[in-house]
Amino acid sequence: MARDRIPISDATLIPRKGEREIFSAWKISFFGAIGILIFLVIYSPDPYKNIILFLPDGILKTFQVTVLSILLALVIGLMAGLGRISRVRFINRIATVYIEVIRGIPLLVQIFYIYYALGRIVKIPDITSAVIAMAVCYGAYLGEIIRAGIQAVPKGQMEAALALGLSRSRAMRHIILPQTLRIVLPPIGNEFIALLKDSSLVSILAVSDLLRRGREYAAHTFEYFETYTVVALVYLILTLFFSWLVGLMEARLSRDVR
């Protein structure tokens, strides 16, 4: 069944199904960014080529932080989402308070709090602090996505499972959650893209991610304009590439539903 979707900001440049325009917004942005990067390297190898050669380990660190954070956030989000629909008032209230509080505090403040404030009690490594802060923050948003996904499954599915003799917990695991996964995959993919961009905040903890490596190069060479131009283009290319993957995934899931 076709569903009306609210546009998500991280996916606005994804080519729509059937869109075959040569100069679509996504193609102009993605291939334009790659073209500009190639042009800069050819036109002025020093410093642009040197900058690009300096960044790969920062890109890998960015992916490491992003992947670890989204995996932990999925676990937290699943527990929060299930807690939000729990019939146990105490569990429901804890999950709701967690989501409301975390979503009301900026991610940067949470990173500072876990690394510096809690650091007075227990010393947490910089990359671990970054992963925990981002997972806790995005876990709250994923919790709401999962809650909405579970509630989007027709109630008759649970009633039929219970009528067949399954317990509520088994029905949730074997009937409801597999259907929920199909519903929430696209928005979770968009949260991954948003988290990829927000991973630049971990550079304040001396984590050698893409932005941190750029800052190190700029501080050493004083070529700030050139360095941040390359960093911005690399972030744009990565974001648009993963937006395209999310678009493919969403289109495939739509075909499967039909």
Residues 6+ apart with CB under 8 A from 236: 29, 33
Please check whether residue 97 is in contact with residue 91, taking contact to mean a CB–CB distance below 8 angstroms.
no
CA 38 from chain centre, in angstroms, equals: 28
Residue 190 within a domain: yes
Length of the chain counted residue by residue:
258
More confident residue, 164 or 111: 111
Query: Residue 23: what pLDDT?
Result: 61
Residue 25 within a domain: yes
Query: Confidence band (pLDDT; 50, 70, 90) for 67?
Result: very high
More confident residue, 121 or 17: 121
Report d(CA 166, CA 33) in Å as an integer. 53
Judged against a pLDDT cut of 70, whether residue 207 lies above it is answered with yes
**Count of the separate structural domains present in the chain:** 1
The first and second tokens of residue 155, run together, are: 């109630």
Share of the chain above pLDDT 90, in %: 52
- For residue 28, the enclosing domain spans 21-257
Please check whether residue 93 is in contact with residue 83, taking contact to mean a CB–CB distance below 8 angstroms.
no
Query: Confidence band (pLDDT; 50, 70, 90) for 11?
Result: very low
Please identify which residue in the block is written with the tokens 């004083």. Answer: 222
Residue 53 within a domain: yes
Please check whether residue 8 is in contact with residue 243, taking contact to mean a CB–CB distance below 8 angstroms.
no
CA 210 from chain centre, in angstroms, equals: 16
Q: Distance between terminal CA atoms of the chain?
A: 6
Report d(CA 111, CA 159) in Å as an integer. 43
CA-based Rg of the chain, rounded to a whole angstrom?
21
Judged against a pLDDT cut of 50, whether residue 4 lies above it is answered with no
Judged against a pLDDT cut of 80, whether residue 36 lies above it is answered with yes
Mean pLDDT over 44-48 rounds to 92
Mean pLDDT over 40-59 rounds to 93
Query: Residue 17: what pLDDT?
Result: 53
Judged against a pLDDT cut of 90, whether residue 10 lies above it is answered with no
Residue 140 within a domain: yes
Query: Confidence band (pLDDT; 50, 70, 90) for 3?
Result: very low
Report d(CA 20, CA 52) in Å as an integer. 32
- Looking at the whole model, is its pTM more than 0.75? yes
Query: Confidence band (pLDDT; 50, 70, 90) for 8?
Result: very low
Judged against a pLDDT cut of 90, whether residue 58 lies above it is answered with yes
Query: Residue 121: what pLDDT?
Result: 83
Residue 7 within a domain: no
Mean pLDDT over 28-56 rounds to 93
Query: Residue 163: what pLDDT?
Result: 84
Report d(CA 32, CA 130) in Å as an integer. 32
Report d(CA 131, CA 137) in Å as an integer. 10
Strand blocks (E) in the chain: none
Residue 2 within a domain: no
Most confident region among 36-50, 117-131, 149-163, 194-208 by mean pLDDT: 36-50
Residue 1 within a domain: no
Neighbours of 108 (CB within 10 A): 13
Residue 36 within a domain: yes
Query: Any idea what the CATH number is for the domain that residue 39 is in?
Result: 1.10.3720.10
Neighbours of 148 (CB within 10 A): 15
Please report how many Cα atoms fall inside a 13 Å half-sphere around the Cα of residue 83, on the Cβ side: 21
Query: Residue 71: what pLDDT?
Result: 94
Query: Confidence band (pLDDT; 50, 70, 90) for 254?
Result: low
